[in-house]
A and B are shown apart, each in its own frame.
Chain A
Amino acid sequence: EPLDFTPADKYSTSETKTPYDKVTSYNNFYEFGTGKDDPAKYAHNLDIDPWSLKIDGMVEKPFTLDHANLTQRFSLQERIYRLRCVEAWSMVIPWIGFELAEIIKAARPLSSAKYVAFETLYEPEQMRGQNSRFVGGGVDYPYVEGLRLDEAMHPLTLMAVGLYGKTLPEQNGAPIRLVVPWKYGFKSIKSIVRITLTDKEPPTTWNKLAPDEYGFYANVNPEVDHPRWSQASERRITGGGLFSRNRIETQMFNGYKEVAPLYKNMDLRKYY
């Protein structure tokens, strides 16, 4: 379905976009299988309407958004962001969405709130990976993620409801997902049903699975390698087959330098 939105130049990149069919056929969404093509094959089983997204925890005004609210309550913008996967490939994607800060402000966070926890839908009958350990990679579902409150309030942090001008395909995290462009892709949790403000650092799925490989912060950082591969460079997926020389240098914070002040005085080797 087409969406109404305003183009936003300030935060968008003018780099070559990854074509729509590549964005929607090459996904990590282990709820539908661990293969990159599994989500496109199986995610149509996901029932996204009706939907309910709950905002609760340390807030004055907890509330719930239904399916129509997701695209109507906040005004939508286009943001063309780089997406850097922890597996050392990247895409450029035109998302449609609104700033996460808008939801959080609407709920009036208490001063004690320090973190934001996110949770994906848990529905094993619709998500085959949640039904079988062999399909879902042995992940402990539901998928959970988290941000520090100041990261969540940063204007770059987006709640996406669409891409390429249309509502999100299921495999990309319909009906609503997080997009944090300066962090590795796994932080950008899909098909969110709950956002909870809290005073403790929330557990995050990949960190629980392999704490030495995936940290809570997971900022894109060319100087801190994954234990099994280098993060100094990446392959940009656009098009052109095997001979396209698409290996490029990875930028600190994926090129979003404006977030650097969030981490001053922090040892990013320790808090990877």
Chain B
Amino acid sequence: MAVTVFNRPVRLNNFQIWTGKACAHLLITGALIWQFLLGFSDNLGADPVQSLLDFTGKHAVHLLLFTLCLAPLARYTPCGDFIRYRRMIGVYTFVYALAHFSTYILFELQLNWPLIGSEIIERPYISVGFVALLILLALAATSFNVIRRKMGRSWQSLHNWVYAAILLALLHFSWSQKTIWEEPIFYWIAAFIILLPRLQYAIQSKTKKRKRCKTA
């Protein structure tokens, strides 16, 4: 049996893809709405604002890391259809990051605009998170098929900025803590492992290019 499971390729039919997407929508949107409802009714612990900042921020990072898993999963497992979930999870990363930022300006700084401006500009850890958000905004805004086709090759180079986004997001996370030996360390390790296949791939293609140059 095990052999047949791993026979390649494993293709999902449209119904399976659609069911998977419906479940993901329900789960990801549902969790976000549920947290905000708990927050509005003061059922999120002593400080609902901090709980919500943690929830949206951490899950934005989880979703981004998961998005980055999908290409290697599609490449190295028999199921290439993983890639069909990438845009959806990627856009949700932006939605969660936006919810995180909105919580910060609406409930943490409570629309104190001079303070919002000075915090974003003067505090490096806030600036870094804000830049990551802007990158995610650009990626989400160009995620439509029409735009992708129109952009041609530049679409890929724009979307390579996702690597900058994950590094900036983790820097923002680490920097927000009071000491170095806290949770973000594990996220850096996870990100390193997830990005490892790409690193390998990048190095290989570079050495191949060099070899080609030499033989020519």
Interface-central residue, A87, A136, A138, A242, by most chain B CB under 10 Å: A242
> Do A22 and B46 touch (CB < 8 A)?
yes
**Interface residue? B178 (CB, 8 A):** yes
Cross-chain contact B181 with A241 (CB below 8 angstroms): no
Chain A residues within 8 Å of B4, by CB? none
Which of B46, B115, B179 contacts A34, CB < 8 Å? Answer: B179
Instruction: For A139, list chain B residues within 8 Å (CB).
Output: 179
Interface string of B162-181 (1 = CB under 8 A from A): 00000000000001111111
Q: Does A13 contact B (CB under 8 A)?
A: no
Contact B108 A235 (CB under 8 A): yes
Chain B residues with CB below 8 A from A26, complex form? 45-47
Q: Which of A25, A87, A133, A239 contacts B181 (CB 8 A)?
A: A133
The total of Cβ contacts below 8 Å across the A-B interface reads 83
* Chain A residues, Cβ within 8 Å of B39: 241-242
Give the docked Cα–Cα distance between A73 and B36 (Å). 49
Whether the Cβ atoms of A245 and B46 lie closer than 8 Å is no
Among A22, A242, A245, the residue within 8 A (CB) of B40 is A242
B41 in contact (CB, < 8 A): yes
Identify the closest chain B residue to A89 (Cβ).
B47
**Chain B residues with Cβ under 8 A from A25's Cβ?**
45-46
Q: Are B115 and A242 in contact (CB under 8 A)?
A: no
Query: A245 to chain B: which residues have CB within 8 Å?
Result: 110
> Which listed residue, B48, B109, B118, B178, touches A242 by the CB 8 Å rule?
B48
B180 — which chain A residues lie within 8 A by C-beta? 138
CB pair B112–A247 under 8 Å, yes or no, is: yes
Contacts of B40-93 to chain A: CB distance below 8 A: 40-50, 52
Given A235-B108, A243-B40, is A209 in contact with B179 using a C-beta cutoff of 8 Å?
yes
* Contact-residue bracket for chain A: 20 to 34
Which of the 9-residue segments A57-65, A75-83, A226-234, A260-268 touches chain B? A226-234
Contact yes or no, A235 B49, CB < 8 A: yes
Chain B: interface size category: 35 or more
Say whether, besides A230-B118, A233-B115, A241 and B46 are in contact (CB < 8 Å): no
Instruction: Please state if B49 and A242 are interface contacts (CB–CB under 8 Å).
Output: yes
Q: Which residues of chain A from 80 to 134 have any CB-CB distance to chain B below 8 Å in the complex?
A: 87, 89, 133-134
Q: Tell me, rounded to whole Å, the shortest Cβ–Cβ distance linking B172 to chain A.
A: 11
Name the residue on B nearest A135 (C-beta). Answer: B181
A136 and chain B: residue at smallest CB distance: B181
Residues from chain A with a CB closer than 8 A to the CB of B36 are 242
**Interface contact A137-B46, CB-CB below 8 Å:** no
Distance between Cα atoms of A233 and B36 in the complex (Å): 24
In the bound complex, CA of A160 to CA of B64 (Å): 46
In the complex, which residues of chain B have a beta carbon less than 8 angstroms from the beta carbon of A243?
40, 107
Contacts of A232 in B (CB 8 A): 115
Which residues from chain B contact A87 at a C-beta distance below 8 Å?
178
Taking the complex as formed, is B123 at the interface, i.e. its CB lies under 8 A from any CB of chain A?
yes
A36 at the interface (CB under 8 A from B): yes
In angstroms, Cα B34 to Cα A265, docked, is 53
Task: Identify 24 residue pairs between A and B in the complex whose beta-carbon atoms are under 8 Å apart, listed by A's number.
Answer: A21-B46, A34-B177, A34-B178, A34-B183, A36-B47, A36-B50, A37-B45, A87-B178, A89-B47, A89-B50, A137-B181, A138-B179, A138-B180, A209-B178, A210-B179, A230-B119, A235-B47, A235-B49, A241-B44, A241-B48, A242-B36, A245-B110, A246-B110, A247-B110
A residues sitting closer than 8 Å to B (CB atoms) are: 21-23, 25-26, 34, 36-37, 87, 89, 133-134, 136-139, 209-210, 228-230, 232-233, 235, 237, 239-243, 245-247
Using CB atoms and an 8 Å cutoff, list the residues of chain B in contact with chain A.
Answer: 36, 39-50, 52, 106-110, 112, 115, 118-119, 123-125, 175-183, 185
